[in-house]
Amino acid sequence: MVRIVRFLKVVALLCFVSSAFGTQMKLTGVGNGYVMGGVYVGPYTATIGGVPTEVICDDFTTDISVGMTWTADTNTLSQVTPSGPQKFTIPEWQGYTIQNEYDAAALLAEQLMQPSNMNNPALAGYYSYAIWTIFDPSAVNGYGVGHALTPTQVYDVDALRTSALANAAGGQVPSERVTVYTPNPLRASQEYLVVSTPEPPAPATLGFDLLALAALVYLMRHRIVRETGRID
């Protein structure tokens, strides 16, 4: 028992150290490789603590490249405040709070991760720019001449962003599956949103648990038969 307690203390200490010093991230790819306005759009691929993960950038103003590594702090949407810890703290759109804007970005991120959207070049681009323009309205102008979005693209991006902001302000909040990975220090990298894979539906989980229980009962009964020659 003493050994178990000591082991748990070591695990707790390691978790504290990991939390205190952040999580190591590395950008490993540009996802589907779709481009809009001369810019790769999400989702991208990265490793978070060594685990391959699909990530969505909410930061158009910071340049990074595949292969870059940095340290990130993990935040939930409920931790967003006017002073941080997230990267953006000043609302870009009149009438909305920074919490509204991050909730809207998360709503768009959830929609972007739908297979029908993320595997469609145009839709992946619209959702990516809608997220970017929440925190940087000038994103639709790209990096300069020849990289601005077309008027039609700007219209579609504006429609997605406007709807997401209105829904967030109106009380529609994203699921708890969205996590914010904020670079530390802030200028070290872009900030990313991650939409985690949902848990299996309750009926499926219950079915799996019942099968596991049945298997355990079967093994225990046969163990009793082998050891005593009878079933009590």
CA distance 164 to 103: 8
Region 184-204: mean pLDDT is 82
CA distance 216 to 191: 46
Question: What is the per-residue pLDDT across 113-136, written as a single tens digit (0 to 9) for each?
Answer: 999 999 999 999 999 999 999 999
Q: Please check the confidence at residue 222 and state whether its pLDDT lies above 60.
A: no
CA distance 193 to 69: 16
Question: What is the per-residue pLDDT across 139-163, written as a single tens digit (0 to 9) for each?
Answer: 999 877 678 999 999 999 999 999 9
Kindly report whether the global pTM for this prediction surpasses the value 0.75.
Answer: yes
What are the residue boundaries of the structural domains of the chain, listed by start?
2-195, 199-232
pLDDT of residue 205: 44
Whether 122 and 88 have beta carbons less than 8 Å apart is answered as no
CA distance 140 to 130: 9
Report the first-to-last Cα separation within the chain, whole angstroms.
32
More confidently predicted of 197 and 2: 197
Q: Please check the confidence at residue 228 and state whether its pLDDT lies above 50.
A: no
Region 151-177: mean pLDDT is 96
Question: What is the per-residue pLDDT across 37-63, written as a single tens digit (0 to 9) for each?
Answer: 999 999 999 999 999 999 999 999 999
More confidently predicted of 218 and 27: 27
Residue for token pair 């596991």: 212
Mean pLDDT of the chain: 84
Q: Please check the confidence at residue 17 and state whether its pLDDT lies above 50.
A: no
Whether 77 and 210 have beta carbons less than 8 Å apart is answered as no
pLDDT of residue 101: 98
pLDDT of residue 200: 56
pLDDT of residue 208: 44
Q: Please check the confidence at residue 29 and state whether its pLDDT lies above 90.
A: yes
The torsion of the CA quartet 80, 158, 31, 62, rounded to 10 degrees, works out to -60
Q: How confident is the model at residue 1 (pLDDT cuts 50, 70, 90)?
A: very low
CA distance 116 to 213: 38
pLDDT of residue 214: 53
The set of residues, in sequence order, having a beta carbon less than 8 Å from that of 16 and lying 6+ positions away, is none
Q: Please check the confidence at residue 213 and state whether its pLDDT lies above 60.
A: no
Question: What is the per-residue pLDDT across 84-116, written as a single tens digit (0 to 9) for each?
Answer: 999 999 999 999 999 999 999 999 999 999 999
pLDDT of residue 7: 35
